[in-house]
């Protein structure tokens, strides 16, 4: 029954989305107050029915209702409850339903907050309604989550063991909160073009959604990278895999947009450019969805075999992006005049930020899509791996980080570069000292590491200078604090990346009980390997004693787990972290006679990579908090 | 999983003829040669696991190729010879860094063109913004 209820709710949601689209767009006219009320009501109704539908699917997963094909294909009675719930979005159908649920949440928030005036909100709701209709149609026709199977299987097929992990459980909802948050930004940009009021108000109205999307993408990417680190068993944190790049591209553009929209909101500068970035950010989210959902990545042929889903997403991408660009081409030239600012000004700094971020996103875009395009056009296969990105992406980021300290230091319109340099002198000194210390004392000696540390301290120092100055002049603001925190996060991440890349210790060997492996001064002695039973897996667990300089540091227990239902095995790495460094051990294959291959890494400062990501997100949250507080402060006297 | 099945089939196909090939040890005793082997395996991609290099991959194929590289290093072959051999066997797809050829010009220079174009545009924007500032005083 619940399955049919879920599907019925989904159909009702579709009709409400269509009403929302038409009424919302009609409500963009000054006189159409009634249409606006209808759009607002249907946006709330859409949210309610999508939530019901999602609840019905979740109920199916929790109660292991295997008459629903999606549940039978992706769940199992023995799975722990948490993975039954997260299994809802651990598959194509359920994850698309999550996508529209998040869209519904954003639409409901847009209605309730009504930022930027009734007309702008209404038009934005109309655009959201169009997107919602397209996606719900996509779900109903190509990816029905409630399809029944008869006869009903006795047991489900289980969930990919790699996905049965707390880190990955939270990863997709975060990414979707980000991807879809960019749809709200896109909707406001399109609404601004529709209503013709594309000066500043839209940027201010869309700001909180931009921020939420950016925070969620930052956290989603950080979580994903952390997950790859501890699950995949080779100690790496980023592999320039197309799926990772699919999330990185919208993040880069969203970062550029956050910066350019600052100028748009404040002085009206870069207003057409900000509109274009808002369109691009959401288009890249759709491209990301396409890459991950169409199967085109595993092979161009996999896509050709089952082209339906991929093609539909491509068509939606073409309509959304093409439509928005047409609207842009039609309306943008009518926008009056440009900004006034001097060569040395915050506007110029933001412009350089955008130039470098756009270059970075182009590199990722080419690196990700070029092999696909080349193979489908000529049949020739090439790989674009880390060396390509290191050659093109890394220099852009170095340049960006070198310029970051200037941004918050320079004032709008016009400033003096020498004065800014003087203010940043302590940061420069800190960078120089740290760089020289690293060059002199760290082994093996590395110019790249010294340069990275200097760059990181240049950025960190600038954040400290900024906060210090604000404290002294009593001008601490949420926005100022936000940029200091987010930029510091970049510096912290850079320290972690540089240290792990340059000074990682690595050892791999086949050892038996009593034998040991040495890595970076640690002695890892294999005591025994014993079988352990989990709720839905069997594991071989290695008990390894850790010693350093003759001191006993306790045991570490990496596992190799096999999931009989899914027929797959994964390794569960053991990580002993101090917060400053990780000792990382992965259990490999059984080589017979009690001998196992064991791989160990010592990753200095690795946790900093994710601390930095969390700090960036905290910066975003600070800025968001500032916005929300201001809004409540404005509401209060009226009540 | 289909991908795993494909990978196994692929590995079997590739190694049916090479089963008696001269594989080296898992680790070379000479640290200088071992360092060369590690550098080489970082520049080559595992064909089974998307996106991972031979250095990172846990697949059987990667394991075999790591030993093949060491065997050939022991025989005294140069890095270039070993890379050329693997490219002739598997194609350019095994290189982590795509070669500079006519069909990859756009890949390498496309982003740079955008940077140059964008830089020019940014310069123009600043120039015009400054002119406007001058007019309004």
Is B89 touching A (CB cutoff 8 A)?
A: no
pLDDT tens-digit readout, B33-77: 888 888 888 888 887 766 678 887 777 788 888 888 998 988 888
Between CA A484 and CA A407 the distance in angstroms is: 11
Res A632 pLDDT > 90? no
pLDDT tens-digit readout, A323-351: 999 999 898 887 766 788 988 999 999 99
> Average pLDDT of chain A?
89
B81 and B21, same structural domain?
A: yes
Torsion of CA B40, B43, B48, B50, to 10 degrees: 160
Contact B114 A362 (CB under 8 A): yes
B130 and B92, same structural domain?
A: no
pLDDT confidence of residue A146: 93
What average pLDDT does this structure show over A367-396?
A: 89
Tokens of B114: 């955008």
Res A489 pLDDT > 90? yes
B13 and B37, same structural domain?
A: yes
User: Which of A65-79, A536-550, B25-39 has the least mean pLDDT?
Assistant: B25-39
pLDDT confidence of residue A236: 81
B88 and B110, same structural domain?
A: no
B91 and B30, same structural domain?
A: yes
Residues of A whose CB is below 8 A from B92? 380-383
Q: Provide the CATH number for the domain around residue B47.
A: 1.10.8.640
Asked if the A1-164 domain carries CATH number 1.10.3470, the reply is: no
Tokens of A80: 């722990």
pLDDT confidence of residue A589: 81
B76 and B109, same structural domain?
A: no
Smallest Cβ–Cβ distance between A381 and the set B43, B92, B99 belongs to: B92
Q: What are phi and psi of B102, to 5 degrees?
A: -50, -40
pLDDT confidence of residue A267: 84
What average pLDDT does this structure show over B10-21?
A: 46
Grade residue A299 by pLDDT with cuts at 50, 70 and 90.
low
Q: Where in the sequence is the domain holding B131, given as residue range(s)?
A: 100-137
pLDDT tens-digit readout, A78-92: 888 989 998 898 888
Residues of A whose CB is below 8 A from B64? none
Res A168 pLDDT > 80? no
B52 and B38, same structural domain?
A: yes
B90 and B127, same structural domain?
A: no
pLDDT confidence of residue A466: 92
B115 and B79, same structural domain?
A: no
pLDDT confidence of residue B4: 52
Residue B117 Cα distances to A250, A358, A390, B114, angstroms: 22, 11, 22, 5
Res A271 pLDDT > 80? yes
B90 and B110, same structural domain?
A: no
Between CA A316 and CA A401 the distance in angstroms is: 36
Å from B54 to nearest chain A CA?
Answer: 11
> b/e per residue, A545-581, with b = 16+ CB within 10 A?
ebbeeeeeeeebbbbbbebebbebbbbbbbbeeeeeb
pLDDT confidence of residue A92: 86
What average pLDDT does this structure show over A154-162?
A: 82
Contact B126 A343 (CB under 8 A): yes
User: Which of A401-405, A594-598, A633-637 has the least mean pLDDT?
Assistant: A633-637
Starting at the earlier edge strand, list the strands of the sheet with A574-577: A505-511, A596-604, A581-590, A574-577
pLDDT confidence of residue A198: 67
What average pLDDT does this structure show over B74-90?
A: 89
B111 and B50, same structural domain?
A: no
Q: How many domains does chain B have?
A: 2
Show me where the domains of chain A are located: 1-164, 166-413, 508-607
B82 and B45, same structural domain?
A: yes
pTM for this model (two decimals): 0.91
Res A626 pLDDT > 80? yes
Contact B126 A348 (CB under 8 A): yes
Res A199 pLDDT > 80? no
Between CA A400 and CA A396 the distance in angstroms is: 6
Res B13 pLDDT > 50? no
Grade residue A220 by pLDDT with cuts at 50, 70 and 90.
very high
pLDDT confidence of residue A135: 94
Contact A338 B132 (CB under 8 A): yes
């Amino acid at each position: 029954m619940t399955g049919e209820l879920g599907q019925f709710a989904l159909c009702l949601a579709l009709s409400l989305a269509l009403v929302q689209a038409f009424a919302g767009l009609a409500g963009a006219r000054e006189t159409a107050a009634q249409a606006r009320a209808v759009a607002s009501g249907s946006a709330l109704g859409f949210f309610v029915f999508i939530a019901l539908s999602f609840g019905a699917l979740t109920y199916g997963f929790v109660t292991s209702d295997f008459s629903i094909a999606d549940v039978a294909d992706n769940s199992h009675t023995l799975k722990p409850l948490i993975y039954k719930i997260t299994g809802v979005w651990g598959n194509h159908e359920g994850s698309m339903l999550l996508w529209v649920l998040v869209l519904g949440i954003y639409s409901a928030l847009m209605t309730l907050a009504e930022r930027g005036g009734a007309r702008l909100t209404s038009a934005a709701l109309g655009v959201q309604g169009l997107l919602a209709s397209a996606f719900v149609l996509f779900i109903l026709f190509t990816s029905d989550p409630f399809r029944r199977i008869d006869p009903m299987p006795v047991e489900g097929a289980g969930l990919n063991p790699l996905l049965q992990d707390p880190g990955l459980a939270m990863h997709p909802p975060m990414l979707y909160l980000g991807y879809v948050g960019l749809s709200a930004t896109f909707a406001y940009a399109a609404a601004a073009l529709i209503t013709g009021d594309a000066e500043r108000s839209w940027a201010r109205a869309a700001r909180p959604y931009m921020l939420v999307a950016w925070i969620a993408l930052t956290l989603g990417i950080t979580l994903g990278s952390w997950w790859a680190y501890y699950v995949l068993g080779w100690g790496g944190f980023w592999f320039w895999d197309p799926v990772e790049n699919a999330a990185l591209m919208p993040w880069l553009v969203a970062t550029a947009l956050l910066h350019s929209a600052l100028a748009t909101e404040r002085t009206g500068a870069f207003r057409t450019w900000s509109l274009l970035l808002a369109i691009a950010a959401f288009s890249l989210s759709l491209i990301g969805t396409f890459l991950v959902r169409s199967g085109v990545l595993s092979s161009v042929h996999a896509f050709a075999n089952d082209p339906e889903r991929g093609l539909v997403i491509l068509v939606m991408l073409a309509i959304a992006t093409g439509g928005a660009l047409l609207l842009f081409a039609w309306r943008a030239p009518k926008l009056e005049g440009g900004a006034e600012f001097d060569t040395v000004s915050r506007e110029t700094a933001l412009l350089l930020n955008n130039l470098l971020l756009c270059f970075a996103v182009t590199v990722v875009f080419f690196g990700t899509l070029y092999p696909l395009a080349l193979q489908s056009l000529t049949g020739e296969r090439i790989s674009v791996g880390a060396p390509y990105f290191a050659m093109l992406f890394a220099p852009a980021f170095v340049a960006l980080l070198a310029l970051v300290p200037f941004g918050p230091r320079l004032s709008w319109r016009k400033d003096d570069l020498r004065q800014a340099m003087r203010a940043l002198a302590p940061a420069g000194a800190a960078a120089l000292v740290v760089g020289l210390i690293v060059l002199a004392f760290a082994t093996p000696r590395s110019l790249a590491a010294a340069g990275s540390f200097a760059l990181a301290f240049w950025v960190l120092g600038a954040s400290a200078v900024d906060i210090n100055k604000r404290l002294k002049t009593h001008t601490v603001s949420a926005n100022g604090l936000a940029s200091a925190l987010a930029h510091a996060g970049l510096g912290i991440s850079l320290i972690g990346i540089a240290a792990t890349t340059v000074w990682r210790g690595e050892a791999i060997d086949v050892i038996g009980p009593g034998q040991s492996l040495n890595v970076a001064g640690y002695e890892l002695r294999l005591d025994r390997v014993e079988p352990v039973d989990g709720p839905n897996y069997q594991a071989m667990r290695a008990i390894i004693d850790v010693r350093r300089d003759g001191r006993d540091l306790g045991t570490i227990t990496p596992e190799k787990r096999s999931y009989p239902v899914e027929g797959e095995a994964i390794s569960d790495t053991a990580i002993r972290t101090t917060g400053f460094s990780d000792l990382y051990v992965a259990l490999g294959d059984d080589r017979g006679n009690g001998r196992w291959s064991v791989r160990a890494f010592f990753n200095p400062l690795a946790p900093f990579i994710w601390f930095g990501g969390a700090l960036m997100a905290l910066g975003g949250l600070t800025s968001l908090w500032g916005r929300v507080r201001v809004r409540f402060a404005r509401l209060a006297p009226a009540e | 999983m289909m991908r795993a099945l494909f990978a196994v089939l692929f590995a079997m196909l590739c190694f049916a003829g090479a089963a008696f090939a001269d594989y080296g040890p898992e680790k070379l005793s000479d640290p200088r040669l071992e360092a060369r082997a590690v550098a080489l395996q970082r520049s080559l991609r595992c064909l089974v696991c998307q996106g991972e290099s031979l250095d990172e991959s846990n697949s059987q194929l990667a394991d075999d190729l790591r030993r093949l590289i060491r065997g050939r290093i022991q025989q005294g072959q140069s890095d270039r010879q070993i890379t050329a051999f693997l490219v002739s066997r598997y194609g350019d797809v095994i290189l982590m860094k795509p070669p500079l050829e006519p069909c990859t010009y756009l890949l390498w220079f496309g982003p740079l063109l955008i940077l140059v174009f964008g830089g020019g545009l940014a310069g123009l924007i600043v120039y015009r913004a400054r002119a406007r500032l001058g007019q309004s005083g």
